[in-house]
Amino acid sequence: MRIIPAIDLIDGKCVRLSKGDYSTQKTYNENPLEVAKTFEDHGIQHLHLVDLDGAKSKHIVNHKVLETLASKTSLSIDFGGGLKTDEDLRIAFESGAKQVTGGSIAVKETEVFLQWIATYGTEKIILGADVKGEYIATDGWQETSDRSLFDFLDYYQSRGVQTTICTDISKDGMLAGPSFALYEKILKETELQLIASGGISQFDELPRLAEMGCEGTIIGKAIYENRISLKQLEAFILTQS
């Protein structure tokens, strides 16, 4: 199981929110490169980089930060937040993203998202399934759609999508543990590679997610609040290799 720390960006700074609420913003570091290099120094190879400004403004904003992290570290970066147009996607890949995550676009502009998959391939496009209750949330989690999670996943799986990041918004940033039951259901009812996201609070949850069959897990606030140490993650990565 891949360990994928998250860096969420507002005004180019490393921040975290609770349940996607922008009013709960807490800044952890004003230098995302410093954070990324620390991850790299502990054997981490992957990064989930979220442009929260982009998600709110509905177009890519923090691509210069992406470019800096991609050029000055060896991290494989999955980038998301505000990717709405072909131009946004072009900028993200040219700035160094190895993969991009599309959530809102997959809900609101199905044909555009399917065209992205056709153009770039399923290994470069991750389906973002951010769920509030049983329904998919969009636009930086500011809106909730009428698309149910499993209808959404089934639709895109039937069209070639291979990987999804599923975030239970009620858990995100709360340090109360992930949605094990939800992830078990996804793994049982779909054939998608699942990256679990939201609520990771302690190290013991990681082996459990790995045993369930998650392809990766995204960890945010638990790292920044020192609930899980980078040395623990380094040791876990070694056991996985």
Residue 140 has pLDDT above 70, yes or no: no
Tokens of 202: 């302690």
Residue, of 104 and 32, whose pLDDT is higher: 32
Residue 241 has pLDDT above 80, yes or no: no
Measure the N-to-C terminal CA separation of the chain; round to a whole number of Å. 9
Residues marked active site are found at 8, 130
Tokens of 238: 């070694």
Contact 19, 173 (CB under 8 A): yes
pTM here? 0.95
What is the number of other CB atoms lying within 10 angstroms of the CB of residue 55?
28
Identity of the residue numbered 152: F
Domain boundaries of the chain, sorted by first residue: 2-240
Which one-letter DSSP state was computed for residue 213? T
The per-residue pLDDT of the chain, averaged, comes to 95
Average pLDDT over residues 42-46: 98
Calculate the dihedral angle through the C-alpha atoms of 162, 84, 13, 20, rounding to the nearest 10 degrees. Answer: -70
Average pLDDT over residues 55-79: 96
What is the per-residue pLDDT for 144?
A: 83
> 2-240 adopts what CATH topology?
TIM Barrel (3.20.20)
- Give the tens place of pLDDT for each residue, 99-128: 999 998 999 999 999 999 999 999 999 999
In terms of C-beta density within 10 A (0-12 exposed, 13-18 middle, 19 or more buried), how is residue 126 classed?
buried
pLDDT category of residue 240 using cuts at 50, 70 and 90: confident
